Chain A
């Protein structure tokens, strides 16, 4: 105890752990949340007293009746009218002070339930949470806004609901109004606001909370792009001041940009957690429902020599998604037929309209590869990065040819999803010149060939 306390400020130790105690700011152990799902076809919309009373009566009388000799069979329905549903199961993780953690997962994975438990809105069924700091939650934008009240009145109301004191709100009032850009409309009822103004005002109030831990649930899904940029900027600002942030979003760009770590939930359980990049990668590889057209690996559909398999790689894993601004590779496996010479391999990226974004081949770049006489060869093309092209996907084109054999071009063999990574990634379009390739910022393209037989 003495060792722990030495070096800390001399404060009366009122039986509470001093603020500067090391350790994670949030510790979650074995958290679980169970819901009873009522099959509402059996009863009316809401539970009523009448139903509960008759239900209890029926049960008592039913049991009594059927126990009598020759009694009437109880006609209570044997079908269960409710069943259990575990929204969260055995969730454990830790968050350290100052971390920005993203929580990702499909709809229904349990993200919002987790946030609700951390915000003390609902109680867990199992497990425990230990939080060392003041929490403010933003689960919805504009909670408590009343349409009849003016903007000014709603700022106070919303601020108070979120936990700010009146004095605090008064102090930050001008900043809030400036952020929301609604100076002219402060004294009109909020029901007259456009949806954009409404959302700006609501977010402006929430953005000026100053808690130690901030929990945000998908509030960036609203508003136009300008506004979203502004919100993200403000949130980064908040996070930058050493605050701990837990952030749920479907906007993977935002998660990649803001979060160092991420937690991937699926069906109430943690599938993966750790560095944001890897967790995002795992998530993107797993979600296949809406990305059915994206593919990570292409295999040759027909028999024959030439290109057999192509896939894209990033961060050491096969993927169908490329993060712009980061190193990635295209791997091409080729079956070489004997007696062919002068092999040439090339690749290219085209956009939706078939426009050429970038292409190169080994001849262009005056690099020769070692080719075996026959057998399989894997060529791995590593590029330092791909620029953001203004669209969220690209198509890969690969071609291979050799004298003495066919020259095959495979167009659009892979549809690769692109995600931006800002601020570090470049966001400019690639500049291309006819038949010569200039790629902004790329100094060289490295050809790595490895041999498999």
Chain B
């Protein structure tokens, strides 16, 4: 009966819970269950079901290719097939954007859970990020198939891909936490996010390569963490045809770490008022 050491709990105003991180581990299965629920619900009562997870990114890529390559002629590097270029940019961007959108609403959508059950609230936006990550991996597989179709084989640089995936995870999580916590207090963010995502899609180097940006603006441009991530993805996949500008990557990584740390701090600070405000 007394397996673990006795759970002793002290509840006081303003007390940061030392048990919080232990609790996160204890409730680790909830990460899985909440994402599982979101994914299941998405495809219930649909005709195509899980096929949508593949069809959506594929269609977006097709549209992008038609619009940006044929119409706007933004294609800069002939050695890399444009669709692949777009895909490599779209992959992390899609992940970032959907994480942002889902996280920012995650707390308010789960308000019934937040006001009635205890669990570490960090799990809620984290599970939205996980759900988006699942989509990301599906699209990654799609990309691998596309590369096979174009007979484009990557080299050793591909091994660095996990690093860039980690950065994109960090950026999504950090930004997601900020927005999730802010949205509980200020409901405007619900309307701001779609706009930011739309704007970001054109500002970030998804439809074009970073080499288009003049050098003197590059550093400022790299403050957008997605820039470093997309550059990294392209560098890792395209056998060096895509140049990676290291200062930019460093800046993006620093911004990501700052966002993550500050996101966790702000979220934990506001967490104790969630149940009262939501």
Please list the residues of chain A having a beta carbon within 8 angstroms of any beta carbon in chain B.
9, 14, 16-21, 35, 46-50, 52, 116-135, 137, 139-140, 143-144, 146, 148-149, 153, 156-157, 160-163, 165-166, 189
Contacts and interface: CB of A to CB of B under 8 A. Distances in A.
Contacts of A127: 12-13
Contacts of A139: 116-117
B8 A17 contact: yes
17 contacts: A19-B6, A20-B2, A48-B188, A49-B189, A120-B11, A121-B117, A121-B118, A123-B273, A128-B10, A128-B11, A128-B12, A129-B10, A132-B6, A148-B40, A149-B44, A157-B36, A162-B117
Contact of B9 (A123, A131, A189): A131
A425 B220 CA distance: 80
Given A46-B187, A161-B119, A122 B2 contact: no
Contacts of B243: none
Contacts of B11: 117-118, 120, 123-124, 128-131
A30 to B, nearest CB: 11
A130 B30 contact: no
A21 B2 CA distance: 12
A132 B113 contact: no
A144 B5 contact: no
B13 A123 contact: yes
Contacts of A126: 13
Secondary structure call for the A interface: loop
Contacts of B117: 119, 121, 137, 139, 143-144, 161-162
A20 B35 CA distance: 39
Given A143-B117, A149-B44, A160-B30, A123 B37 contact: no
Nearest to A160: B33
Nearest to A48: B188
B185 interface: yes
Given A52-B186, A143-B112, 14 more contacts: A14-B5, A16-B5, A46-B186, A48-B186, A120-B11, A122-B276, A124-B12, A125-B13, A128-B11, A128-B12, A137-B117, A140-B112, A149-B40, A165-B29
Q: A-B pairs with the 3 shortest C-beta distances?
A: A19-B2, A129-B11, A46-B187
B76 interface: no
B37 A149 contact: yes
Contact of A47 (B13, B185, B272): B185
Contacts of A143: 112-113, 116-117
A139 B113 CA distance: 10
Contacts of B2: 9, 18-20
B79 interface: no
A52 B40 CA distance: 38
B40 A120 contact: no
Contacts, number: 127
A16 B8 contact: yes
A441 to B, nearest CB: 42
A161 to B, nearest CB: 6
Interface of B: 1-2, 5-14, 27, 29-30, 33, 36-37, 40-41, 44-45, 112-119, 185-189, 272-273, 275-276
A125 B5 CA distance: 29
B116 A49 contact: no
Nearest to B26: A163
Contacts of A117: 11
B40 A144 contact: no
A144 B9 contact: no
A138 to B, nearest CB: 9
B116 A131 contact: no
Contact of B10 (A52, A130, A161): A130
B44 to A, nearest CB: 5
A140 B187 contact: no
A156 B32 CA distance: 11
A81 to B, nearest CB: 16
A146 B6 contact: no
A11 to B, nearest CB: 8
Nearest to A141: B116
A132 B7 contact: yes
B33 to A, nearest CB: 4
A86 to B, nearest CB: 14
B6 A148 contact: no
A135 B33 CA distance: 21
Nearest to A123: B272
Nearest to A145: B112
